[in-house]
Amino acid sequence: MRAASMFSKLLIANRGEIACRVIRTCRKLGIRTVAVYSDADADAQHVRLADEAFPIGGARPQDSYLRGEVILEVALKAGAQAIHPGYGFLSENADFADAVEAAGIVFVGPKAASMRKMGSKAGAKQLMQAAGVPVVPGYTGEDQSPELLQREADAIGYPLMIKAAHGGGGKGMRIVRSAAEFLPNLESCQREARNAFGRDRVLLERYVEHPRHIEIQIFGDAHGAVIHLNERECSAQRRYQKVLEESPSPFLTPELREAMGAAAVLAGRAIDYQNAGTVEFIVGQDSDGKPGGFYFMEINTRLQVEHPVTEYVTGLDLVEWQLRIAAGEPLPNAQHEIAQRGHAIEVRLYAEDPEAGFLPGSGKLTRLRLPAPDAHTRIDGGVIEGDTVTIFYDPMIAKLIVWDETRPRALARLREALAQCAIEGPKSNIAFLERLVRHPEIVDATIDTGTLDRDLDAFMPQPADPAQARVARAAAVVALLLREEARTRAAAATSGDATSPWALADGWRLGHGGHRRLVLDDGERKRVFVAHGSGGDYRLQDGDGGETLDARGARWEADGALSLRLNDESRRLRVDIDETGALPRIAIHDGARRWRFVREPAYRPAADAGASVGDRVLAPMPGRIVLLKTNVGDTVEAQQEVLVMEAMKMELTLKAPRAGVVAEIRVGVGDFVEADAALVVMGDAA
C-alpha cells in the first residue's frame, strides 16, 4: 500500500485500549492524533500516547465520552480532519455521524443512513429477508398487542426468543419454552426494554438450540465494492457477552464458509455499506453435531473488539483499511486476494471476580505482568502497571491474542501466554480463562452459546489435589530461599567483604541450629516451614507436623522458571515474587493451575517489639539496618521512631522504649544484625 496522506490529523472519540490501538496505526501512517479524556482519564495511557489531548467533562460517560457536541468542538478546535469513534460510546450513533459530516469532518465508519437501517432489529431483519439473506423464522410487525404476539408465538413454535427491537448488550431478551410461559416473559422483557432503551417494542424469533455464533467481517468502499474477510467464531459466551473469539471457525465446512461469506456481502450491499462492519449469524447444529442452517442476527456497524484475530489470519491492518476507505480510496484488495493463514484466538483480561458472579472490579494495578509481544503473541491494552481501573468504564485490562499454524498449537500458545500473566490489585479473570481454554468443550470445539450459562460450575475452581498443593508450597519456599541467598551474596559483594560470614548462604545466621523458618499463607491457612540446607539443596519440614520434602538441584532457569527435584521427582514451575506490598506475594504456576501465597513474618514480635526491654532497642528478628532516625545525644520521647530495619523483605520501624537521651547507637546503615541484638541504648536526660 502507498503511504497514507489522506488525513494529517485524526481525533479519536474513545478511550482505553481501542484509542491506543488506533493511535498505533496512525503513528505508522504519519497521522497526528488527538485524544479526548474525562476527569477520570487525565493520566490514562491513550492521553499519554496521543500527540494532543483535551478534557471533555466528568468521569461518567454521559458527562464526557457520550457528549458528541463537546467532542466535535474539540475536533474543530484541534483542526482534526477526521474522527474515529472506536467501539462503544458514539460508534453506532447515527446522529453523531451526521453531525460530524455536517461540520466538514470525515466520520471513520459507515454512513448514518446505513446505521439507521440497522438500528432497529425488526427493521434490519425485514430488510435482510427482502434482500435474500437467511433469517430466523419470526415476527417483526408493528402490532404489539399481547394477544397477537401470543398467536404469532404459537405459530412460530417453541422454544422461542423474545428480543427488544431497539437495544443490545443482552438486555431485553427472554427464552420461552412453552405457550404458558409466553405472556409473563413478554411483560418482563418489555419492562426491561422500556427501562434500558426507552422503547418496549419486541420481535419474536425461533430459538435455535445449541447455536454457534459466527460473524463475518465485511468492508465496503464509496465506489460500490463490498467484500468479506472471512469469519470469527464467538460461541464461548456468558449472558450473551463474548468470552473467547477465534478465526477460522473450527465448526464451519468450506462450503458453509463460502455461503455465509456470500450472504454477508449481500447484507452489506443491501444497506450500501461503507467501511468496517460485522455481519453476525447463528448457526444451528444437527443431531450429530454438524452444522445446520445459518440465520442473520444483526450487523454491527463499527469495528469489533475481536478484530485482531482477523488481522492475524489475514495479515491486514483493519484500522488502516478504515482510514483509507474513509478518505475515499477503493478497497485495497479484491475478494480473491484475501488470505487466511493459521489460527488466531483472543481472550480479554478483565478486572472482575468470576467466583462472585463476575462482579466488575476496580482499583490500582499494583502489579501487571503480561507476555512479551512477538510473532505469535499480541497484547492490546490501555493500562500499564500503576494505572487505576476505574468504576466508570468497562473493566477490561488488556486483550490477549495468539496465533499459530494450527488450532491445537494456538491453544497451547494461549495457555502459555496466560501462565505468564500476573495481575495484583483488583481481582482478575485470568484463572477462569485458564480453566476455560483447558475445558474439553473448548479443546474439542464443541462449545455453543449456552454452554457457560448452563454449566458455569464446570469452569469454576475445583478442589486442589493435595499432592499438587504440596509441590506448589514447597516451590514457593524454595524460591524464597534462593532469592534470599542471592541477595545475601550480592550484599556481601557490594560491601567488598567476601570473607564475612554474611557472605555464606548456609543459613547459620537466619535461625538457630542452621535452619530457616518461613510462614506461608494460602488464603485459607498459615503454614510454618523449617528449611535446612543452602545452595539449592534443602530439607523442608512442615512445622505443623506435615511430611518432610527433600528439594535438590533447585535453580532459576534462563526463562525465569524454577526447576528442582522434590523427593527425586523433577519439577519445573513458573514463579513470580511480588515484593511491592507490605508482605511478599508468591505466585506459582505448575502448568495447569496457579497458586498464590503471602509470606508472613517468621517471628511475630509483640506490638511494641524493638521498643522495650528496659533501656535497649532490640532487633525483633535477623535483618539489615536501612535508616537511622536519631543521633547520639538526641532527646527522644517514648515510642518515638529511632531506626528502620529490613527483615523478611519488610521494613520495620523500631521505637524508643521510654523517654530519655540516646546514649549509644551500635549499628550503622547497611549493617546486618541478629535477632535480639541491642541496636540503641537509652540514657537519662541530664
Burial of 379 (0-12, 13-18, 19+ CB in 10 A): middle
44: three-class secondary structure by DSSP = coil
Between the CA atoms of 539, 542, 546 and 549, what dihedral angle is there, to the nearest 10 degrees? -20
CA–CA dist 534, 552 (Å, integer): 10
User: How wide is the angle at C-alpha 534 spanned by C-alphas 669 and 466, nearest 5°?
Assistant: 115
Catalytic residue among 201, 302, 516, 594: 302
In the block, residue with C-alpha cell 506490638: 607
CA–CA dist 72, 94 (Å, integer): 14
296: three-class secondary structure by DSSP = strand
In this structure, the chain runs to a length of 686
* DSSP bridge pairs for 350: 396
Burial of 225 (0-12, 13-18, 19+ CB in 10 A): middle
Cell of 671: 549493617
Q: Is 302 a catalytic residue?
A: yes
CA–CA dist 563, 148 (Å, integer): 70
User: How wide is the angle at C-alpha 374 spanned by C-alphas 372 and 378, nearest 5°?
Assistant: 75
Cell of 348: 480479554
- Side-chain-facing half-sphere of 250: CA atoms under 13 Å: 21
Cell of 538: 534443602
331: three-class secondary structure by DSSP = coil
CA–CA dist 546, 424 (Å, integer): 30
CA–CA dist 509, 502 (Å, integer): 8
CA–CA dist 357, 640 (Å, integer): 47
- Side-chain-facing half-sphere of 327: CA atoms under 13 Å: 18
First to last CA, the chain: 86
CA–CA dist 336, 342 (Å, integer): 18
Distances (CA, A) of 462 to 235, 409, 431, 459: 24, 26, 12, 8
Give the residue ranges of DSSP H helices in 496-534.
Answer: none
- CA neighbor of 595 nearest in space, from 422, 339, 439: 422
- CA neighbor of 370 nearest in space, from 427, 416, 324: 416
196: three-class secondary structure by DSSP = helix
Catalytic residues: 302
